[in-house]
Amino acid sequence: MNFKVRVVLKNDPYTIIIGPDVLETLPSQIRSLGLGKDALIISHPLIERLYGVKLSAALRKAGYSVKTLTVPEGEKSKSAAYALRLLKQISAYDVDKKLFIIALGGGVIGDLAGFVASIYKRGVPYIQVPTTLLAQIDSSIGGKTAIDLETGKNLVGAFYQPKLVLADTGVLKTLSQRQIRNGLAEAVKYGIIGDVKLFNFIEANHQKLNGPGPWNSRDQVRSKVLNFIVRRCAQIKAGIVSKDEKETKNLRTVLNFGHTVGHAVEAAGRYDQYHHGESVGLGMRVAARISVDMGLLAKAQELRINELITSVGLPERIVDVRLARILELMRHDKKFTAGHNRFVLARKIGQVTVVKDIPANIITQAILAYMN
């Protein structure tokens, strides 16, 4: 029943385990990895209550010591202040211990806890236990850890691979519909960058995920759709990361489709107006428009991309954000260097390319097309 995906890296290979009840297997997985005896869970209070308490009990039963530290929900916790607070709390606790960190939560926890793991004592082992759809299909895989600065997202961080990723699709049942849509944005991205079949699958099945939560864990239809999406996206991401661990080739760059404008919109909205996936949905609309204007993508394909983003329920327009602010924030994008811009653009659904030096007016017009 459980599905395994291997991230094949020269120095730090690891496995992603996906399935409806894999959380229960965490203590035995840790044992087989030969990590330390002292688990330090980093989470949010809500996730701690929903899943952390049970996980801690299982770990203690298996002979581990467990300490849990929490940070408030939201992107604002992915900050230098919270990273430093965690580091101080960890070091105060770390006496005669052999610590390993468990990141239990969505992308915010994964990025923050991974970053803390990467710098505490120059690196302690950590495990990703992603609890949002977005984190299961994207942020927990590939070892990108980060905190944000005022000037932009993810500007401080490290490549630091986890020892294991445990994606329990059963925990997705307590997510809000907004969080599901947020994750679906990244799933649509995977379809566009490399898998038209996945795109077709989302088109055909995403409506089955609608409806009030929390879901019943026996809800087989939803469970099947989510399991398929998580497995396929994890395979795609693992495949790309295995070929280009540190984004030194254009391979890993394609994962940024929709993110250049998306990150800027997210930052311009101060990280609370739009969730990450929502901004990426808007960024994908803009990227598709630029692709059309650059003569790469057929208009009909752009329409199909936009229709799916809309029918998934993601925002259609960029509101209450100034164009000048978006353009200014975009200049902090990692892909922009020495006055040159670089965008991931679509040739068709399932195939993208990296393009340099796009005329500024094409970018501006494409953003304006989605502004009020």
Ligand X SMILES: NC(=O)c1ccc[n+]([C@@H]2O[C@H](COP(=O)([O-])OP(=O)(O)OC[C@H]3O[C@@H](n4cnc5c(N)ncnc54)[C@H](O)[C@@H]3O)[C@@H](O)[C@H]2O)c1
Active centre residues (catalytic): 122, 144, 186, 237, 247, 252, 256, 259, 263, 276
> Using the 8-state DSSP alphabet, how is residue 256 labeled?
G
**# residues contacting ligand X (CB under 6 A):** 31
Name the amino acid, one letter, at 148.
D
Of 70, 182, 253, 279, which lies in the binding site for ligand X, with binding defined by CB under 6 A? 182
CB within 8 A of 350, min separation 6: which ones?
Answer: 191, 192, 193, 194, 195, 196, 199
Among 56, 169, 179, 260, binds ligand X (CB under 6 A): 179
Pick the stretch among 41-49, 224-232, 317-325, 330-338 that binds ligand X (CB under 6 A).
Answer: 41-49
Among 17, 30, 135, 188, binds ligand X (CB under 6 A): 135
DSSP at 211: S
Structure token digits, residue 253: 């760059």
Q: Is 238 in the site for ligand X (CB under 6 A)?
A: no
- Taking CB under 6 A as the binding criterion, the range among 31-39, 106-114, 334-342, 344-352 that sits at the site for ligand X is 106-114
Q: What are phi and psi of 99, to 5 degrees?
A: -80, 145
Q: Which residue is nearest to ligand X (CB)?
A: 107
* Dist. CA 142–CA 162, nearest whole Å: 8
Q: Which stretch binds ligand X (CB under 6 A): 79-87, 99-107, 199-207, 325-333?
A: 99-107
State in angstroms the smallest separation of the CB of 12 from ligand X: 15
In eight-state DSSP terms, residue 298 is -
Residue 369 main-chain phi, psi, to 5 deg = -60, -20
Within 89-244, strands assigned E span 99-105, 126-130, 144-149, 152-159, 164-168
The alpha carbon of 314 is separated from its chain's Cα centroid by a whole number of angstroms, namely 16
Is there binding between residue 269 and ligand X (CB under 6 A)? no
Report the interface residues with ligand X, using CB under 6 A.
Answer: 44, 46-47, 50, 73, 75, 78, 105-109, 111, 131-132, 134-135, 138-139, 142, 144, 153-154, 171, 174-175, 179, 182, 275-277
